[in-house]
Amino acid sequence: MEGTESRSDASSSVVADWSLVFWTLCSVILPVLITLWCSFQRSRRQVLIRDIFRKSKHDWHYTDLFGQPSYCCVCAQHILQGAFCNCCGLRVSEGCLKKADQLFLCKEIMMRSDGGAHSSMPHHWIRGNVPLCSCCMICKQQCGTQPKLCDYRCVWCQYTVHDECMMDCLKTEECTFGEFRDLIIPPYYLSTINQIRKDKRTNNEKVVPYCRKHWMPVIILANTRSGNNMGETLLGEFKILLNPVQVFDLSKIAPAKALQLCTLLPCNAVRVLVCGGDGTVGWVLDAIDEMKIKGQERYIPQVAILPLGTGNDLSNTLGWGAGYAGEVPVEQILRNVMEADGIKLDRWKVQVTNKGYYNLRKPKVFTMNNYFSIGPDALMALNFHAHREKTPSLFSSRIINKAVYFFYGTKDCLVQECKDLNKKVELELDGERIELPNLEGIIVLNIGYWGGGCRLWEGMGDEPYPLARHDDGLLEVVGVHGSFHCAQIQVKLANPVRLGQAHTVRLILKSSKMPMQVDGEPWAQGPCTVTITHKTHALMLYHSGEQTDDDASSVSEQDHVREQTDEDV
* 140-155: b (≥16 Cβ within 10 Å) or e: eeebbeeeebbbbbbb
Structure pTM?
Answer: 0.84
**pLDDT at residue 404 tops 80:** no
The mean pLDDT of 352-364, rounded to a whole number, is 78
pLDDT band at residue 409, thresholds of 50, 70 and 90? Answer: low
Average pLDDT, the chain: 83
Question: Facing residues of 239 across strands?
Answer: none
| DSSP code, position 108 | -
Which tens digit of pLDDT belongs to each residue from 145-196? 888 999 999 999 999 999 988 887 777 788 989 999 999 999 988 888 887 7
Query: Which range, 221-230, 232-241, 556-565, is most confident?
Result: 232-241
pLDDT band at residue 289, thresholds of 50, 70 and 90? Answer: very high
Which tens digit of pLDDT belongs to each residue from 14-65? 667 787 777 888 888 888 888 888 887 777 777 777 888 888 889 998 888 8
| DSSP code, position 452 | T
What is residue 390's predicted lDDT score, i.e. its pLDDT? 64
For the beta carbon of residue 339, count every other beta carbon within 10 angstroms: 11
> 425-429 and 432-434: which strand pairing?
antiparallel
Which tens digit of pLDDT belongs to each residue from 207-232? 666 667 789 999 999 998 876 668 88
The mean pLDDT of 491-504, rounded to a whole number, is 91
Domains, the chain, ordered by start:
50-106 (3.30.60.20), 181-339 (3.40.50), 347-537 (2.60.200.40)
| DSSP code, position 394 | G
What Cα–Cα distance (Å) separates residue 15 from each residue in 19, 23, 192, 440? 6, 12, 85, 84
Task: Select the more confidently predicted residue: 463 or 156.
Answer: 156
Integer-rounded Cα Rg, in Å, for the chain is 31
What is residue 428's predicted lDDT score, i.e. its pLDDT? 94
Cα–Cα dist 275/223, whole Å: 6
The dihedrals phi and psi of 188, each to the nearest 5 degrees, come to -70, -25
- Angle at CA 248, nearest 5°, toward 365 and 105? 165
Task: Select the more confidently predicted residue: 378 or 111.
Answer: 378
| DSSP code, position 178 | G
What is residue 567's predicted lDDT score, i.e. its pLDDT? 41
Which tens digit of pLDDT belongs to each residue from 81-130? 999 999 999 999 988 988 998 899 999 888 776 555 567 888 999 999 99
What is residue 2's predicted lDDT score, i.e. its pLDDT? 52
What is residue 392's predicted lDDT score, i.e. its pLDDT? 62
Answer yes or no: are the C-beta atoms of 545 and 453 closer than 8 Å: no
